[in-house]
Structure 1
Amino acid sequence: MMRLKKYSLFVGLIILLAVLAIPGAAASDSTQPGYITVGLMPVAQFDAHYAAYSVVPTLVSFTDTSLGSTPMTYQWDFGDGSTSTNQNPTHSYIQRGTYTVTLTVKNAYGTDTAIKKDCISIGMAPKADFVANPTSGNVPMNIAFTDKSTGIATTWNWNFGDGTGSTEQNPAHTYWTAGVYTVTLTVSNDYGSSYSTKNQYITIVGNLVSKFSANPATGKAPLTVTFTDLSLGTPTTWNWDFADNMTSTVQNPSHTFKTAGLYKVNLTVTRGTDTDSSIQTLNVGGVPQVDFVGNPRSVSTGDMVQFTDTSLNSPASWAWNFGDTATSTNQNPSHSYQVKGIYTVTLSAQNTNGIGTETKKGYINVGIPPTADFIPVIAPYVIGKVPMSVNFIDKSTGLPSSWNWNFGDGSTSADQNPSHVYQTKGIYTVTLTVKNTFGSDTMVKKGLISVGNGGGADFSASATTVGVGWIVSFTDLSTFAPTQWSWDFGDGTTGLGPKPDHVYHTIGVYDVSLTASSPYFTDSVTKKQYITVLNIPRADFVADKTRGGAPMNVTFTDKSSNGPTSWKWDFGDGATSTDQNPSHTYTTLGSYTVTLTASNVNGQDSTTKVNYIITTLAPVAAFSADRRVGNAPFLVQFTDMSSNNPTSWKWNFGDSATSTEQNPRHIYQAEGSYNVSLTVTNQYGSDTSYKSGISAPTIAAAPTTVSVTAAPTTAATVVATTIPMTTQAPLPAAVSVVASVIAMLAIVSAKRK
């Protein structure tokens, strides 16, 4: 009987400690921000909603959006002397004014307070404020502007400092030229307006581009070469690698190559965290100077192309790559292509002094019609004058064999890159039609050339027939060097600057006007019915995965807007599809550019994602955890699920701990939310998988149970009750220790009996 009383005492102590230490409430059912969750302190946050800001009284609804483990308690201070303990209260403000609202939330892990200064404005003019992210970068740089004004604003007017503006509340803007820009936001409502100006707020620097010259670039060994840095973007450091185990950090070094060979000289330039590299190959000594010709360069499938080696320095062996996986070691091989396409051809030639290589991109056209394109080049000193000479540069692709130019003034040309003199003032549309044996294409550039006009205003658009929601880029073509521009886009909106972007939101035909001014001259031009807006699709898509080992099956999902009715996919490996959401298997290693063209009766739009799909021998990181939510200390078994045979692993568990095991176990000692990453590596490269809590599982509201066996009347076995448990909070350390000691004493005592 005494033994039974002892055991009952032990059991009672254990039950009492468990009831006191373990919260009875269900665990949070909200998604937590970390991949591994070990109890969360609260993060106070809230929203306020009210329809009328200009009447008194005004009823405001407050919505709690706080994060953290539940249950929570709430304490509101509405800024006018009133308070509430409801989670989502409503409050009536009975006087005009601007009020600061405070919410304090509390749970088992701690307390947090959110204060929104001047967030309620009743019958008051707004106070302008804003932030931008980022505030610096390289051109072109897209900046997201966020309105932070207090009070109720009904209109917003942004001036981005580069001659452009916006009336959106939270616009995004692209800076296309380097400079330091001052930004102003003006906000208003029925009671008044205010503005906020941030001087020299946005800093845009030019792109960093590595570039250099070598003089001489070839010659007999030993050869001394003077290198001249021609890089753009104002680099601050230079690192030269001369490919003969010698380097330099001088901006414009001289270097002597002592032995014959082909040297791939690399210049890496740096500015802050930006870096760029460029390579030139120098021929020192008798290494083959590789070159070749192919005839004909435009053929049908199955036709033969004769390749002829024209390399210098007497190569003794040759290695050809015809771009369609076929190769040859003949000096002058013949080859026929079996699939339509544009092919890049490479020849490597070798002699006793070394190997030289020549690659000609897009060299052979097999059954593909050309695509027309061109640019005008005008000397600055003839702009705006009569007569005016213009050089036209053909930029067409697809190896056209003939060119037909119409300069818009009655003159034509069949040259590839013609020069033309305009004799009369006017604005001229230029047309280029290119042909080859497989078809033709025409490019029309409306109002491209402005001649004379007394310094006339002129402009062009990136497209004149567009879909709803498309971005139209306008470009000033005025010939008198204006310094101010005022645009009327014909839909009730206006713009500033020499190159504004504009979006038309409604179907229609719009006139566009530009008024351009300089200190000495102002001129206006209106182009009637210039922009036609139709319900043309806006092509977009995503893939369920973009990297992996071959063969790799990829499912593509159409995300196009404006109601497309047909789809044309080019998967980048020669395969196509007309399904809306196709699946495609990539069977060989490589990087693939994917294009989707979405169409309906009004037109079509294409989007191309360059090197979007990559199949590789490098590993693709992936992992899982056996459990993701629990009490501290919390043991997690991580399992590597990476593909393509990684040979090394580096884990970061998010709590400063790491591991190089393939499948590590880790104990989280403290409460918190942890993001986990795994980097895997093999001889071909490395990859990293980073997991946050976007897909974190919810914690079930139903409690789990721990059974403690009750003592039977005839034996000294410990038994008895069921205690509710949740994973919301760990036991306090002291309670855990005491409970463990009591339990162990009970077990030891039972064994002795």
Structure 2
Amino acid sequence: NDAKYYSIVSAIDLFGACTPQVEATTNAMYAVGLGSAYVPTVIADFTAPVTSGCITPFTVNFQNISSNASSFVWNFGDGNTSTLVNPSHTYNIYGNYNVTLNANGGACGTDSILKSSYISVSTSNPCIVILPLDGTATTQTTCTGKLFDGGGPSGNYADNSDAIVTISPSGASNVTLNFISFDVEPGDAGYCNYDYVEIFDGPSTASTSLGQWCNLNGSPGTLTSTGGSITLLLHSDQGLNLAGFEMDWSCSLASTPPVANFSNNPISTCTGDVSFTDLSSNGPTSWLWDFGDGNTSTLQNPSYTYNNNGTYNVSLTVTNTYGSDNITNSNLVTVNKPTAPIVNGGANCGAGTVNLSASGSGVIHWFDAASGGTELGTGNSFTTPSISSTTTYYAEDHIAQASQYVGNTQSSSNGSTFTYTNEHYLIFDCTKACTLISVEVNATTNGNRVIELRDNSGATLQTTTVNIPSGVSRITLNFNIPVGTNLRLVGPGSPNLWRSNAGVSFPYAIAGLVSINNSDAGTQHYYYFYDWEIKEPDCVSSRVPVDATINPFAIAGFSLTDNGLGNVSFTDASQNSSSWNWNFGDGSGTSIVASPNYTYLADGTYTITQIVTNSCGTDTSYQ
């Protein structure tokens, strides 16, 4: 449709609307199966592969099949419009929507078409879902539905993509997939190593794989999960794409109480951070976690941070319509944070900076809050910004973890240098946030290469440009890897870097941390990045408060009352004083009391001196 549209628009721009040249171009497109035959008027028309949805948000891909028009105005019926030729629009509210298309052909005229209640979004509709061309779809929570690849009922899936969907109906004990049609590019050498559908027995691509399918081994047929969730991944390389698949799903709703079960990662932690995964069966609909330290959660798969060292029991109670179940794992989580640092506060007289210090087994990090907050610096000493009142800062000790290594190590064997313009990448999962410090590469030419970390939708998370010398070398990346599935470590086009096409044995994994599972060209190819150096997050102690004290200066001041007969009462009005020294001016009378009383023995005029002192110095007042 795009080829047809722009060819006709070009003809109109060159020769004018409704000219013989436009007629010839239109009929030429028609002859190769694009659009309809030429008519000398504007005809507005459109279609969409799927027009009804069962949940919001619901995205519709409109296809413009108008004739002899060069500009368009769409009204989607929900207050939104577009001037694109073939727009996609997302409906966020349930309802039935009229869709209008106004088509303008200039000298050929105009036309419009209104399709009443063309779009329906209702929970009573059958669920028809089209995968995104790339990235992760909304989790499907209905018990039945139909799923197409990103090309929809009549198109092909996209090249060089990873499209993912999880089906997790509320209260389901299992989910069954039934493939109606299946057409995915076959691999070679007995493997689905180009394009494939992979199905996982659980809520993510980190769950157990049930297998990979392509035209080499045929349709998956019918598959049933062991629990209430199942995940599908459609992977494609940069080459051929085919019609994809049509698949129906259904679920079995639980008819008995759930059976509680869960896992967690890690078992032992020096940071206090633990992720919990529900593995309960028989369709629980609610969850109650007890982390053993007095805190709880009602999330299905919570992440939790323990603040104190110790060994903790963790329990999970799951419930559905038919009852509940509980499991308690004793002594499950061990938290062994480093010893908190020894701190020394500081002080200053009046507004200014204050020097603080701390010592520990690692590197001291300074913060402005007891938790969260902003990191202010590192090192055993810290100088505050200028402050005018006593302020509390916080220090914690970070002990670096040792490097761990994972990945293919054959950076100069079982392969060759890749020089083509195609972009390639490794696909991996990360179950615990970590840092990719460095990788080994083998280059045939010196020069800069752009290396990227992307998520499973292809969005760039981090990028770096590295000057790589020729030969085998280790390059620094320092990529902060988040928890995620099907992450991508991406090399440039025309990289002149070594890649392996033999002796590859995926997955390459560090248990509970990272698993390199595949490449975008399948399991028989390993691209560019060898022997990954990985570091887990630093071990972190509890934060300790450190006071930066601002001591005020002493300010002298007093008043007096003449009581008669030479007796005078002195009232201290000084500020911030810790000691007082009075001289009553008669040559003999003194006092160190804050507010003294003194009797003069002779008439006269006397000058009284008050000297007040604190740790920041002295001040004097006279009357």
Same fold at TM > 0.5: no
Q: TM-score, normalised by structure 2?
A: 0.26
**Greater relative CO (CA pairs within 8 A, separation 6+):** 1
Q: TM-score, normalised by structure 1?
A: 0.23
